[in-house]
Amino acid sequence: MADLVPLETHLAEVLAAATPLPARSVSLDAARGSVLARDVRTAWSLPPDDNSAMDGYAVRRDDVSGAPVRLRVVADVPAGSALDPPIGPGECARIMTGAPVPSDADAIVPLEATDLGTGRTERLDEHVTILTPPNPGAHIRRRGEDAAAGDLVLAAGRVLGPRELSACASAGVARVEVVAPPRVAIVSTGAELVSVEEAAVGGASAHGVGRGRIVDSNGILLAGLVAEAGAEVVVRTRVADDRDAFTALVRELGVLDADPERSRTSGEPERPGRSSDEVTTNAPNRPVDVVVVTGGASVGAFDVARLVLEPAGIGFRGVAMQPGKPQGFGVAPSGVLVFSLPGNPVSVFASFEAFVRPALRRLRGERWPVRRTSEHVAVSGWRCPPGRAQLMPVRFVPGGVEPATDRGSGSHLVARLAAAEALAHVPADTDEVRVGDLVTCWELT
């Protein structure tokens, strides 16, 4: 890992390998949170008719220009009515908000501008006095003023949230083409890892979980991040630093070619060295799209991820960033994207934000693979690692941001990471952030 590669270079290579997954047609409810694969156009005009913006009376403006004027009420047009009653000179129709404006009327007079006022009554008065003359077209919402039939409402690449789905429904689009969510497998490696449940049963004490042991926090961290990014966690498991166990696991996940010996034996695959609390939330009935491995990415003697994945064509390199220097990435022959992240929890988080999230966003068809950034003033300063971009956990304080903890961006500070509200991205050529400097932040909350 002699020469460190810039973060931007590694990201560009990751993104070049990630292309949107196939699209499928789903109902609007099923589409929530997915990304639109094809433009949506209105099936009809919005609003569909000229309709009233007020509860009041639909009038002929010429009749009421000399208001006050008394008119005969010849019809009642509630919302939902399909009526188009004729309105002659000296006549008007009572109308409610949203109801189609009669073709003979050209203005709406709100109840407040009549002698009948807003006293609620269902009874239809025979006459009404208009107190003030309306402007031409007053309180009429015009057909098509929001969108004409066939107009583009949403472009492909748009994430379908509540506003987008309400626009689709209004536009008469009952089903939309969305990109399938990426299916992700999460694999924590490390002989030292135990689940929090195992640790607690084993007698959690002031001493900890047992000498040399550590709770697998990366699994739950990544599961949450993957779900938050709009992808599906289909496998989440731990595996010890055991070459055979890891090899069998990644082969099952489509990272390595099928083992001809193993595929001749039918039934359950053997699972040597795999954790007993494996979570498989949704058995992979179609292959996973992405495998994210944590731990064993560095140069240690037991760094099993690298030992197995590198000969299989996954590239390992040092990226000029802190935390998150050792990175493995590649595309398996099956097409599965493989990320082999360093094991340190803050490194996992920084690596996910820098590389995995953008890849997931690209796979699921989002227009912008990277998070939007914002600039904030540093209200206290900090030192930066020479020659490496820094992703510093920061929090928002009056006037700007400051490091989220007094221990900076140390890659093992898992408890302190929880205090972060943003990651400040400091360029590799900056040795120090001084009070008053503007820093670019990836907002997390």
Ligand X SMILES: Nc1nc2c(c(=O)[nH]1)N[C@H]1C(S)=C(S)[C@@H](COP(=O)(O)OP(=O)(O)OC[C@H]3O[C@@H](n4cnc5c(N)ncnc54)[C@H](O)[C@@H]3O)O[C@H]1N2
Which window, 40-48, 53-61, 70-78, 318-326, contacts ligand X (CB under 6 A)?
A: 318-326
Give the residue, chosen from 143, 274, 325, 364, that forms a contact with ligand MOO under the rule CB under 6 A: 325
Find the angle CA(263)-CA(339)-CA(439) to the nearest 5 degrees.
170
Residue 331: which of 288, 283, 285 has the closest Cα?
288
x/- binding map, residues 136-175, to ligand X, per CB under 6 A?
----------------------------------------
Binding residue for ligand X, selected from 139, 325, 357, 361, defined by CB under 6 A: 325
Rule CB under 6 A: say whether 342 interacts with ligand X: yes
How far apart (Å, rounded) are the C-alpha atoms in residues 30 and 327? 35
328 binds, among ligand X, ligand MOO, none (CB under 5 to 8 A by kind): none
Residue 344 contacts ligand MOO per CB under 6 A: yes
Question: Site for ligand X (CB under 6 A): which residue of 12, 174, 204, 299?
Answer: 299
Rounded CA gap, 126 and 298, in Å? 87
Q: What's the CA gap between 439 and 373, in Å, rounded?
A: 10
Which of ligand X, ligand MOO, none interacts with 193 (beta carbon under 5 to 8 A by kind)? ligand X
Question: Closest Cα to residue 442, out of 363, 366, 357?
Answer: 357
Count of H-run helices and E-run strands, the chain: 12, 27
Binding residues for ligand MOO, rule CB under 6 A, total: 8
**Range in contact with ligand X (rule: CB under 6 A) among 173-181, 186-194, 385-393, 425-433:** 186-194
Contact 341, 294 (CB under 8 A): yes
DSSP per residue over 118-169, as a string? T----S--SEEEE-SPPPTTTTEEPTTSSB-TT-EEE-TT-B--HHHHHHHH
To the nearest whole angstrom, how small is the minimum distance from the Cβ of residue 384 to ligand MOO? 12
For residue 363, the minimal CB distance to ligand X (Å) is 23
Segment 305-324, which members bind ligand MOO (CB under 6 A)? 322-324
Contact between 342 and ligand MOO per CB under 6 A: yes
Which residue sits closest to ligand X, CB atoms considered? 343
Q: Which of 20, 102, 133, 190 binds ligand X (CB under 6 A)?
A: 190
Q: Closer to ligand MOO at the Cβ: 158 or 317?
A: 317
Smallest distance from the beta carbon of 348 to ligand MOO, in angstroms? Answer: 8
Burial class of residue 267 in the structure, from the number of CB atoms within 10 Å of its CB (0-12 exposed, 13-18 middle, 19+ buried) = exposed
Give min distance, CB of 1 to ligand MOO, in A.
10
* Site for ligand MOO contains 347 (CB under 6 A): yes
Round to whole Å and give the CA distance between 60 and 352. Answer: 64
Cβ atoms within 10 A of the Cβ of 249, count? 28
Rg (the chain; Cα; Å): 31
CB closer to ligand X out of 325 and 361: 325
Interface residues for ligand MOO in 375-414 (CB under 6 A)? 411
What does the per-residue mask of binding to ligand MOO show for 98-127, with x meaning CB under 6 A?
------------------------------
- How many residues bind ligand X (CB under 6 A)? The answer is 28
Q: Say how many C-beta atoms besides its own lie within 10 A of residue 24's C-beta.
A: 15
Alpha-carbon distance of 244 to 247, in angstroms, equals 5
Under a CB-based contact definition with an 8 Å cutoff, are residues 420 and 392 in contact? no
Amino acid letter, residue 226: V
Tallying the residues shown for the chain, one arrives at 445
State the minimum distance, in angstroms, from the CB of residue 319 to ligand MOO.
Answer: 8
Binding residues for ligand X, per CB under 6 A? Answer: 1, 188, 190, 192-193, 214, 216-219, 294-300, 303, 323, 325-326, 342-345, 347, 411-412
Q: Which residues bind ligand MOO (CB under 6 A)?
A: 322-325, 342, 344, 347, 411
